[in-house]
A and B are shown apart, each in its own frame.
Chain A
Amino acid sequence: MLSVNAEKNTAGQVGLVDTKLSQQVQTTVAEVGNALLGKDHQIRLALCCLFSGGHLLIEDLPGMGKTTLSYALAKALGLSYNRIQGTSDLLPADILGISVFNQTTSEFSFHPGPIFSQLVLADEINRTTPKTQSALLEAMEERQVTIEGETRMLPEPFFVIATQNPVTLAGTYPLPESQLDRFLMRLRLGYPDQRAERELLEMNTERDKVEAVKQCLSLEEVIAFRRQSAEVSASDSLLDYVQRLIAFTRGKDEFHFGLSPRGSLAIMRSAKTWALMCGRNHVVPEDVQAILPSVVEHRLRATSEDDGHSGASLVQRLLNEVDIIE
């Protein structure tokens, strides 16, 4: 139901923007889809997150293609990228960089860490210690790092795609709510469907596919897309709907806490980008519904928490119980 509008909104629709953008998005999705089979919707969401200028958290069991997705995205967007593998002994300096004494010049020279790139892939972020996590997350929020008293700007654009294992697994440090909030979206890939799985099994190696992903969008196009998405209009009726969604999460017993204003801004930002990706210059309720699970799931927690995924059922309630017309 949620992805239903993605492909169908082509000709004959009202309020369309120039279709070049949506076609580009289409090719990008297809290109990344070659590497990660049968996950078009997740790829779209990931692109939406990046186009909105937010950071992405991919959460799933090991071996579900988290890293493949991040690699493929980096390649398709043509961004310079670095990878950080989260381990329990990873230190902040390993991410941010370090000053090393150069004996020939007798000076300290700064060796930038992997954070200084346009796209940072932070693998298994919940396996690092909270100290390291917070160093990374600070950089995500501020888009700058301060090392040894000197503030250094991070490149523009700056995206972080972090992956994590579900927190129920042993040896992990779950990210607190305040840090989860920094991620615009959290995606879960899930098992591939039968057809995709079969295709996967017929292939030789996965690695080749990732290497074969071609660049589909230039940096300028990504930035232009981001700029344009801010101009997508949201009518009063739509804002009413979003407000009702947000209000639904607040002051209810099932919800441990409601959505923060940052959460509601995230909804609007992503919905606008989604609308633009579908080739519309206005947001419709379906856009909101499409991005809602990935944007708010990690920001919500049920009062009685049985497992780490209680957000999903809450979002489903939101979608089913808040009508588009009051």
Chain B
Amino acid sequence: MELSYQIPRPALIWTLVAVVLVLLPQSIRMPIWIGVVALFCVCWRVLIHNGKLNYPSRKLRVVVVLFTLIVSFSQIRNIGIGLDSAASLLALGFVFKLIEMRHKRDIYVVISLCFVMSMVAFLYSQSVLTTLYVALVVAVAMGAMIALNRSSSVVDNRGTARLAMKIAAQALPLTIVLFLVFPRIAPLWAVPMQTGVNSTGVTDEMSPGDISQLARSAELAFRVQFEDGVELTHGQLYWRGLVLDHFDGVTWRRSRNSSAYSVAASLADFRISYDDRIRTLGEPVSYNVILEPTQQPWLFGLHLAEDVNDEFFSGRNFELFNNGRITQRLSYDLRSYMQNQTDVLLLDSSRNRTLELPDGGNERSLEFAIGLRASVSTDREYANSVLAHFRQNQYFYTLNAPLLGENRIDEFLFDTMAGFCEHYASSFTYLMRSVGIPARVVVGYQGAEANPYENYLMVYQYNAHAWSEVWFEGEGWVRFDPTGAVSPTRIELGVQEALRNDPAFMEDDLFSAARFGGIGWLNAMRLRLDAIEYEWNQLVVNYDEDVQFELFERLFGEVTEQKVIMLMATLAFIVIVAVGFTVINIEPRIQRTPIDRFYLRVCRELAKINLVRRRGEGPIAFKDRICAERPELADAMAELTDMYVKLNYVGKSVSGAEQKNEMQALQTVYAKLKTKMPALAGLRRTG
């Protein structure tokens, strides 16, 4: 029978702490039952250690394997092959290994898995907080390794922690160097990210209630940094997302082309006349946007945005699209011509799309529109009088819009008269289309909060907004924001001001810091934290191949293959030398006290005049011998030896200052001794 290996208690504790720390952030994302299983396994492990329970039997292990297989298959079926299913499978295997740790190597497996699991955490989030947390986890896992290799009788958790910290701190410079210079290789395979996660932010459909739902959330949508010197008012910050031009009576949608032919046709339209479709005035505004993952492909920017690096697709209506869903923070540079005219000549296909109305319904609105149009002479006057209608009547800007029935536009315009931006944009656009003016709904964000610490803007989900674009002959598309007519505060000062007394505002984030914006220091702290996050993003998360290349260029001039090889070789050399030195230093270096060093120096000096202290000869014996051989040195030597003996062998602890004084005294005596030595040296030479 094999002798069972008893895992040292401190090592087990360290390992379990590491495991719990690793799983803690994962368990928020993972199904709750995995957390329960993990807790169960940790408890079982503790009971095994205490001798209360045995290791799982073979039968049970087979059951567990089957269970894991079934679970992973069902996961794959439910949420598809992706990061989530892979992560939960890994977590399951990880926690089951806990109750199976019998040998030392099993703990090593678990600790290595801790490292792997910490890397998984980075797939989900790369924020400062995550990084710090993972650093903590890594330190604890290292502590587990240290504890495992210490003698089992030593319970010195503080020492273990200190050593782990030390090792982690030592690894830091190497990490930074590797981070900076290690070639950024594109991933060899791509993990389908977060298939099960819902998209966030503005979507390509707008039903009444969608945007007001977003306004309940204080999550960050994106951050923007303008190039220096750009000053825009709050009212100018219309972050245009998508154009929704198809209305079915309830929901606004992007019209999707149904046939390959129409795609080709619209592409052809677009290709041929792109430059003709826009007319810009004045200088563009440049800025950088860091978009939080939305799980959607579209991007946000000020109208009319041009993509600086040519990485994105431009939509038919000058929207911007990423190639693929945005599953990680995305940083992009844009250039916007704030003064622009688009589609001065409207293509027929576009005109048809933007005039389309659902069949039947909303008759009162239709009547109202036609009546109003007849009272004014131009389309623009008509649009303005609709805005005036909103302004002059008892319309309310509120998150808690009453439910609407069959004829939504009618009910809103004439009965409930209370709603959020989507109600206003929707009905405004409807009223335009009713009288044959091309109009469409635009969704995106409006406004931003400035972060004074790093000079950038933060746009939150509650900044989500919808407005209209109306086409006028000779002017092209013109932005109209009916919400501004109802609640000018919303546009000029922001949604926070406009909805100050609305209890539904940000109700999803009861404890979010933004809610407590009124408390000065709390708000400052929130802004400061966000600024740190922003810097982190700019410096670390965005450090990709291009930035690396730029860095090299700045450091070494033009980057050539030779230089890269040289750099690599140098770094490899430094690392090897550093490791070599470390290995050499593992042999404990002789640590002499200053007094001993001094005494040895005296001995070396004396050896020059043939007075060699023998190995193992004590200081007093040596002095006696010198006194006998060289009476000229007797006094000085006796004094020096007395002091040395006093310092080295009398009294156990001498304070630092005292020691310094003693050393100085010793030096003076030594000087005295030295004055006598040259004569002797000469004596020896002649004799």
Asked if B650 contacts A324 (CB within 8 A), the reply is: no
Asked if A233 contacts B651 (CB within 8 A), the reply is: yes
Known contacts A5-B620, A8-B624, A286-B621: A15-B646 contact under CB 8 Å: yes
- A320 close to B (CB within 8 Å): yes
- B593 close to A (CB within 8 Å): yes
- B100 close to A (CB within 8 Å): no
What is the CA–CA distance of A122 and B367 in the complex, to the nearest angstrom? 135
Asked if A14 contacts B615 (CB within 8 A), the reply is: no
Asked if B616 contacts A319 (CB within 8 A), the reply is: yes
- B58 close to A (CB within 8 Å): no
Name the interface residues of A1-47: CB closer than 8 Å to any CB of B. Answer: 1, 4-5, 8-9, 12-15
Asked if B646 contacts A324 (CB within 8 A), the reply is: no
Asked if B648 contacts A233 (CB within 8 A), the reply is: no
Q: Which residue of B lies closest to A9 (CB)?
A: B620
Name the interface residues of A267-287: CB closer than 8 Å to any CB of B. Answer: 281-286
Contacts of A306 in B (CB 8 A): none
Q: Which of B600, B620, B642, B643 contacts A325 (CB 8 A)?
A: B600
Asked if B651 contacts A324 (CB within 8 A), the reply is: no
Q: Which residue of A lies closest to B642 (CB)?
A: A14
- A84 close to B (CB within 8 Å): no
Name the interface residues of A208-238: CB closer than 8 Å to any CB of B. Answer: 233-238
Q: Which of B599, B614, B649, B651 contacts A284 (CB 8 A)?
A: B649
Q: Which residue of A lies closest to B591 (CB)?
A: A326
What is the CA–CA distance of A324 and B592 in the complex, to the nearest angstrom? 12
Asked if A4 contacts B593 (CB within 8 A), the reply is: no
Q: Which of B618, B643, B652 contacts A285 (CB 8 A)?
A: B618
- B645 close to A (CB within 8 Å): yes
Could you tell me the distance in whole angstroms from the C-beta of A309 to the nearest C-beta in chain B?
21
What is the CA–CA distance of A9 and B643 in the complex, to the nearest angstrom? 14
What is the CA–CA distance of A233 and B621 in the complex, to the nearest angstrom? 20
Asked if B599 contacts A5 (CB within 8 A), the reply is: no
What is the CA–CA distance of A4 and B650 in the complex, to the nearest angstrom? 20
Q: Which of A5, A8, A14, A325 contacts B646 (CB 8 A)?
A: A14
- A289 close to B (CB within 8 Å): yes
Contacts of A136 in B (CB 8 A): none
Interface string of B606-619 (1 = CB under 8 A from A): 00000000111111
Contacts of B643 in A (CB 8 A): 14
Asked if A325 contacts B649 (CB within 8 A), the reply is: no
Could you tell me the distance in whole angstroms from the C-beta of A321 to the nearest C-beta in chain B?
6
Contacts of A282 in B (CB 8 A): 649-651
Interface string of A159-184 (1 = CB under 8 A from B): 00000000000000000000000000
- B590 close to A (CB within 8 Å): yes
Q: Count of B residues near A, CB < 8 Å?
A: 25
Q: Which of B593, B596, B619, B650 contacts A15 (CB 8 A)?
A: B650
What is the CA–CA distance of A196 and B396 in the complex, to the nearest angstrom? 126
Q: Which residue of A lies closest to B596 (CB)?
A: A325
Asked if B590 contacts A326 (CB within 8 A), the reply is: yes
Asked if B596 contacts A235 (CB within 8 A), the reply is: no
Known contacts A8-B624, A325-B592: A238-B649 contact under CB 8 Å: yes
Could you tell me the distance in whole angstroms from the C-beta of B651 to the nearest C-beta in chain A?
7
Most chain A CB neighbours (cut-off 10 Å) among B596, B638, B650, B652: B650
What is the CA–CA distance of A324 and B623 in the complex, to the nearest angstrom? 14
Q: Which residue of A lies closest to B595 (CB)?
A: A237
Asked if A321 contacts B616 (CB within 8 A), the reply is: yes
- A323 close to B (CB within 8 Å): yes
Known contacts A14-B646, A322-B616: A235-B652 contact under CB 8 Å: yes
Known contacts A9-B620, A284-B619, A289-B618: A326-B592 contact under CB 8 Å: yes
What is the CA–CA distance of A234 and B645 in the complex, to the nearest angstrom? 12
Could you tell me the distance in whole angstroms from the C-beta of A222 to the nearest C-beta in chain B?
26
Could you tell me the distance in whole angstroms from the C-beta of B666 to the nearest C-beta in chain A?
13
What is the CA–CA distance of A317 and B630 in the complex, to the nearest angstrom? 28
Asked if B616 contacts A289 (CB within 8 A), the reply is: yes
Could you tell me the distance in whole angstroms from the C-beta of B653 to the nearest C-beta in chain A?
9
Q: Which of B615, B619, B638, B646 contacts A320 (CB 8 A)?
A: B615
Name the interface residues of B59-85: CB closer than 8 Å to any CB of A. Answer: none
Asked if B618 contacts A284 (CB within 8 A), the reply is: yes
Contacts of A324 in B (CB 8 A): 616-619
Could you tell me the distance in whole angstroms from the C-beta of B637 to the nearest C-beta in chain A?
13
What is the CA–CA distance of A325 and B592 in the complex, to the nearest angstrom? 8
Contacts of B617 in A (CB 8 A): 1, 324
Asked if A235 contacts B650 (CB within 8 A), the reply is: yes
Contacts of B619 in A (CB 8 A): 284-285, 324
Asked if A321 contacts B651 (CB within 8 A), the reply is: no
Asked if A5 contacts B651 (CB within 8 A), the reply is: no
Known contacts A235-B649, A235-B652, A236-B652: A1-B615 contact under CB 8 Å: no
Asked if B646 contacts A323 (CB within 8 A), the reply is: no
What is the CA–CA distance of A313 and B575 in the complex, to the nearest angstrom? 48
What is the CA–CA distance of A10 and B528 in the complex, to the nearest angstrom? 73
Could you tell me the distance in whole angstroms from the C-beta of B529 to the nearest C-beta in chain A?
50
Q: Which of B593, B621, B638, B642 contacts A237 (CB 8 A)?
A: B593
Known contacts A319-B616, A322-B616: A14-B650 contact under CB 8 Å: yes
Asked if A283 contacts B649 (CB within 8 A), the reply is: yes
Contacts of B596 in A (CB 8 A): 237, 325-326
What is the CA–CA distance of A231 and B70 in the complex, to the nearest angstrom? 74
What is the CA–CA distance of A237 and B591 in the complex, to the nearest angstrom? 11
What is the CA–CA distance of A105 and B615 in the complex, to the nearest angstrom? 70
Known contacts A237-B596, A324-B616: A1-B621 contact under CB 8 Å: yes
Could you tell me the distance in whole angstroms from the C-beta of A244 to the nearest C-beta in chain B?
10
Could you tell me the distance in whole angstroms from the C-beta of B18 to the nearest C-beta in chain A?
37
Interface string of B622-643 (1 = CB under 8 A from A): 0010000000000000100011
Known contacts A233-B652, A321-B616: A4-B621 contact under CB 8 Å: yes
What is the CA–CA distance of A14 and B666 in the complex, to the nearest angstrom? 14
Asked if B615 contacts A321 (CB within 8 A), the reply is: yes
Contacts of A237 in B (CB 8 A): 593, 596, 648-649
Contacts of A319 in B (CB 8 A): 616
Contacts of B645 in A (CB 8 A): 14-15, 284
Contacts of A281 in B (CB 8 A): 650
What is the CA–CA distance of A59 and B475 in the complex, to the nearest angstrom? 124
Could you tell me the distance in whole angstroms from the C-beta of B629 to the nearest C-beta in chain A?
13
Asked if A13 contacts B642 (CB within 8 A), the reply is: yes
Could you tell me the distance in whole angstroms from the C-beta of A155 to the nearest C-beta in chain B?
36
Asked if B652 contacts A286 (CB within 8 A), the reply is: no
5 shortest interchain CB distances as A-B pairs? A285-B618, A286-B618, A14-B646, A15-B650, A282-B650
Question: Given known contacts A5-B624, A12-B642, what 16 new A-B pairs fall within 8 Å (CB)?
Answer: A4-B624, A14-B643, A15-B650, A234-B649, A235-B648, A235-B650, A236-B652, A282-B650, A286-B618, A289-B616, A318-B616, A321-B616, A322-B615, A325-B599, A325-B600, A326-B592
Q: What are 8 contact pairs spanning A and B, CB under 8 A?
A: A1-B621, A5-B620, A15-B650, A15-B651, A233-B650, A281-B650, A320-B616, A323-B616
Give the interface of B toward A (CB within 8 A): 590, 592-593, 596, 599-600, 614-621, 624, 638, 642-643, 645-646, 648-652
Give the interface of A toward B (CB within 8 A): 1, 4-5, 8-9, 12-15, 233-238, 281-286, 289, 318-326
